[in-house]
Structure formats: C-alpha cells, structure tokens
C-alpha cells in the first residue's frame, strides 16, 4: 500500500482537504492515509475536523499566543519531520498558502518525499500582498511534484514558472465540494439555524438586508482595519434598512479596532467566530459579503452572493474577470461607495449575483484522487 499524509493547520485548509481525505480513506486496500495537523489555528481547526468526522493521526498542537512567523515555521518543520520519520510516506498533501503548507513542504523536500499541492498556482505577483501567503505558495510550487490548480489562469501561472505540464491538473477548487455538501445539510435544517440566531444574538434575517463581514489579513493590521471599520460604521449609520454581521477573528490585531469602532451600533452585530456550518448559513442568508478572505471569494459566488474584496490585490482574479467579485482595497471611501452602489443598483447587483462561479462544480476531490491513483 502507498502511504499518504495530509498535513494542515488552519480551518480553511481543513475545509479544502476534508473531502479529499475522505475519498482516500475509503480506499484502504490501495492507500494507507494519515492526517497530521499542526494546529496553527487550534479552535477553528477542531470545529471543521468534527464536521467531517476526521480524527488526526498526529496532532502537533503548536498554537501559542502571539506566535511569530519565524517560531511557527521552525516548529512545523521540526514537528512534521519527526512524523515523516515514523511513517516514511510515499506522498504528502498540502493545501493553499499557509505557513504550515510551506514549512511541511520544505520538511518533505529535505527527506526527498514527493509533495502534492492542492489549490496550486494562485498568484498576485506581489510578494508582500498577501503576506506571507504569496511567497508561501510560490515556494511550495517549486518543491511540489503534483500541482492541482483550480482554474485555467492558475494553471498558466504554473506553466509560466516552468512547471512540467504533465504534473499539473486543473480540478476546480475543493472548497466547492465541501460547500455543496454543507449547503444541502443547511437547507434541510434552515429553521433551526434561523431560530438559533434570533435567540442567541437577536438577529432577524427577514427585517433588513444582511451584509456579512470577514476580515483577518495581516497586511491590513493597523490603519487598514481602522479604514474598514470606519466604512462599515458609515454605511450602518446611514442605511437603517441594512444590518452587518461580523464574526470577529480571534487575533487581537483584529479584535481591538473592530470592538473599539463598531461596538454599540444598533444594526451591527459583532459575534464570535462561527463554526463552518453556521458560517455557511450566514452566507446563504446574506445580501452581499464584505471580506478579505480568499476562500470566501470562491464560496459566496456558488451561493449567488456578490463579494466585495477589501484587499489591494487578489490571487483569485477569475472572480473579478467574470464579475462575481469586486476589488476595492482598504480605502474607506471606496468601500462605502461599492457597498452603497450594490445596495441601490439592482441591475448591477443581479449581474454579480447571477454570474457563473469560475471555481468549479464540486468534483475537484475526485479528480485529485484519480490523478494520484493513476500516477503514484
């Protein structure tokens, strides 16, 4: 049997790897599948593992308060290297662009273990935006043997960097695989979720248009987050028919400005980070989504929700090109202008809401499995 290890550390990685892991685990006669987590994000990671019934074989539990990139990188390399010594895998899987992704890939390279990279080829070509993700994914591409880009554009990025076309397979994004499974579950229990948010947070989705907000990017810490919060405050105070729901990321650099600027505004609901399934419910109930997240740029269009991206660059230009997303940066006036434009212009709103999602149809995990089954 071939030994496969999936290595990840954050909630987005877990979501995008879960359906792939479960496909490999089903074929126990060909693959011996292991799951190793670094717990780069502890609480949010555990939520997703429970949803998809994934029990890690190895848990490094590396989360520490105010951890630096230097310290977490060193700990991941050391920790996963020890796991590789125990298992002696034939292949490791990594996903996306986190510090876990790069550090685990580097550790595998040192031991001459092939790497398969899910969601490969995303680029902004600005090494500091997003930081450190852009460099993480570029260095992972240099190391990897198998590359699974979600779109034609991401494939072309890899080919232009000299990656062998025979080792590249366009799959769509695995996040859509997970989203469609969870969305069906939510639809069958919709009243339960609506009742929960009324009782827990006094949020009624039938009264006002809901704008869902997520924000956590390191490059926006400081003035960037203050600008975002001031824009939200302005729109909330000038539009009584709108309500904002903002699950606040646990990072203190996010918590402080959000709570300072947006607290005690009647139509802004500041709530704790949500588990994956409730978050998808919130997205389904939203009129539009305001985010700096990469995954949300892929998920929301599958639910027909326009996305306003609060970043200066995006590694997912496909959404902008087809019209599902709009890139506005962290300038307060630009954010306000785009939100109010979509609130007041139904024709333009419908163009974004009805544009086809370029990130796949929910078959990415099967394509990845078939490629490795045939090649390894």
Given the structure tokens 């809401």, which residue do they identify?
Answer: 353
| Residue 366 annotated among the catalytic residues of the structure | no
Q: Which of 46, 57, 218, 340 is catalytic?
A: 218
| Residue 218 annotated among the catalytic residues of the structure | yes
| Residue 147 annotated among the catalytic residues of the structure | no
Q: Which of 41, 42, 97, 311 is catalytic?
A: 97
Burial grade of 195 (CB within 10 A; 0-12, 13-18, 19 or more): exposed
| Residue 97 annotated among the catalytic residues of the structure | yes
Q: Which of 117, 147, 249, 316 is catalytic?
A: 249
Q: Which of 13, 123, 133, 147 is catalytic?
A: 133
Q: Which of 216, 312, 348, 375 is catalytic?
A: 216
Q: Which of 13, 119, 155, 177 is catalytic?
A: 119
Question: Which positions are catalytic?
Answer: 97, 119, 133, 216, 218, 249
């Amino acid at each position: 049997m071939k030994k496969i290890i999936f290595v990840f550390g954050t909630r987005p990685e877990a979501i995008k790897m879960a359906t792939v892991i479960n496909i490999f685990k089903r074929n126990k006669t060909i693959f011996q599948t292991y799951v190793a987590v670094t717990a780069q994000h502890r609480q949010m990671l555990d939520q997703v593992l429970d949803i998809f019934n994934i029990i890690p074989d190895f848990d490094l539990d590396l989360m520490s308060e105010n951890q630096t990139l230097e310290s977490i990188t060193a700990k991941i390399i050391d920790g996963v290297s020890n796991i590789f010594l125990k298992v002696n895998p034939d292949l490791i899987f990594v996903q996306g662009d986190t510090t876990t992704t790069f550090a685990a890939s580097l550790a595998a390279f040192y031991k001459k273990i092939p790497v398969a990279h899910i969601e490969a080829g995303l680029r902004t070509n600005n090494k500091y935006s997003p930081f450190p993700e852009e460099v993480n994914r570029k260095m992972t591409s240099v190391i990897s043997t198998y590359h699974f880009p979600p779109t034609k554009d991401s494939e072309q990025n890899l080919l232009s960097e000299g990656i062998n076309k025979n080792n590249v397979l366009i799959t769509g994004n695995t996040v859509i695989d997970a989203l469609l499974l969870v969305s069906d579950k939510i639809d069958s229990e919709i009243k339960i979720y609506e009742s929960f948010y009324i009782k827990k947070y006094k949020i009624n989705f039938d009264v006002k248009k809901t704008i869902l907000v997520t924000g956590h990017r390191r490059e926006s810490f400081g003035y960037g987050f203050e600008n975002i919060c001031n824009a939200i405050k302005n729109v909330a105070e000038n539009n009584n028919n709108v309500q904002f729901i903002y699950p606040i990321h646990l990072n203190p650099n996010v918590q402080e400005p959000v709570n300072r600027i947006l607290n005690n505004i009647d139509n802004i609901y500041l709530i704790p980070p949500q588990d994956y399934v409730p978050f998808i419910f919130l997205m389904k109930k939203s009129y539009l989504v305001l985010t700096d997240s990469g995954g949300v740029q892929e998920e929301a269009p599958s639910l027909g929700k326009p996305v306003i991206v609060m970043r200066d660059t995006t590694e997912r230009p496909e959404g902008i090109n087809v019209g599902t997303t709009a890139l506005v940066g962290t300038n307060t006036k630009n954010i306000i202008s785009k939100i109010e434009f979509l609130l007041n212009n139904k024709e333009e709103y419908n163009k974004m809401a009805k544009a086809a999602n370029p990130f796949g149809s929910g078959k990415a995990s099967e394509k990845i499995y078939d490629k490795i089954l045939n090649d390894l």
